[in-house]
Homo-oligomer: A and B are copies of this chain.
Amino acid sequence: MEPMEPTTRLRLDVAYDGTSFHGWTRQPGLRTVQGELEGALATILRRDVPTLTVAGRTDAGVHASGQVAHVDLTREQGDRLARQRHKPRSADSEESLAELLKRRVNGVLGPVPDVVVTAVRLAPEGFDARFSAIWRRYRYRIADAVAAHDPLQRHRTAWHAGELDVARMDAAARSLLGLHDFAAYCKPREGATTIRTLQDFSWRRDDDGVLVAEVKADAFCHSMVRALVGASVAVGEGKLAASDLPLLRDVGERTSAFKVMPARGLTLVEVGYPPDEELASRAEQTRARRELDSSRVTVE
């Protein structure tokens, strides 16, 4: 085996409007967030384009305000990047490699892009954007009949014709919390576990009447948030009782009692990591578990 080349790991915080993307993951011939960002890195670093590792591989149309990814730069790539630094004016301190990467990537992405790198920093020892993550938090927005239907927010809000009962939806959501098999709320994927710890799931109505769900779990199986939201909507419409949601969950099979809601209303808002000193051990644990459960999926 060749000795590993020393690399510098950078953490990238990323926000995007998912409307015009075919999701996060690079796919030939399709515009994806990973493809767009790696394309920008290719422009800046010229060759040996590094691959981005991401916390939440969002689906087509899903947005993010707090996505997290990492990238490893070789010493040669770091040197190539450093040569793109502005000459510091005498009073300025030198721009860090992280600041430089942020400025260059956003510069390549254009003046009003639908994906923005909001922060870049040196990753702490042991950090892995995917495997160190201990939770993901999503938000889902619905404008029902009594809410403002704001055209300026239509890209990130699902519109619903009837009126929804938010108190019933909130009660139903909270009854699903805890460590359970969420197979009834997952699109099945070969070999992927559907056992998840749902840490937060609540509904509120904002000042403009828009219904907002906060959903937090260690990880999510495929289309889980949108299924949980769809089940909540059935409760809000009176088609299901609040107590039906844990019952459906415990049956453990997909059902036609509710619909999976559209991607448009969904945003990945935050990814949680443990304190720096636990990063490496957390990543090791996750990887070890992943070997047992060969395709642990953190996709929504």
Contact = CB atoms under 8 A, between A and B. Distances in A.
Interface residues of A, number: 23
A154 B267 contact: no
A15 B112 CA distance: 23
Interface string A58-70: 0000010100000
A15 B113 CA distance: 24
A184 to B, nearest CB: 28
Contacts of A264: 112
Contacts of A113: 151, 154
Interface in A58-117: 63, 65, 111-116
Given A111-B159, A159-B111, A116 B149 contact: yes
Contact of A151 (B15, B148, B149): B15
A116 to B, nearest CB: 5
Protomer copies: 2
B114 A63 contact: no
Does more than half of chain A's interface fall in helix, strand or loop, or is it mixed?
mixed
Interface in A154-178: 154-156, 159
A276 B227 CA distance: 49
Contacts of A152: 15, 17, 63, 65, 155-156, 267
Interface of A: 15-17, 63, 65, 111-116, 118, 148-152, 154-156, 159, 264, 267
8 contacts: A15-B151, A15-B152, A16-B151, A111-B159, A113-B154, A114-B154, A152-B155, A152-B156
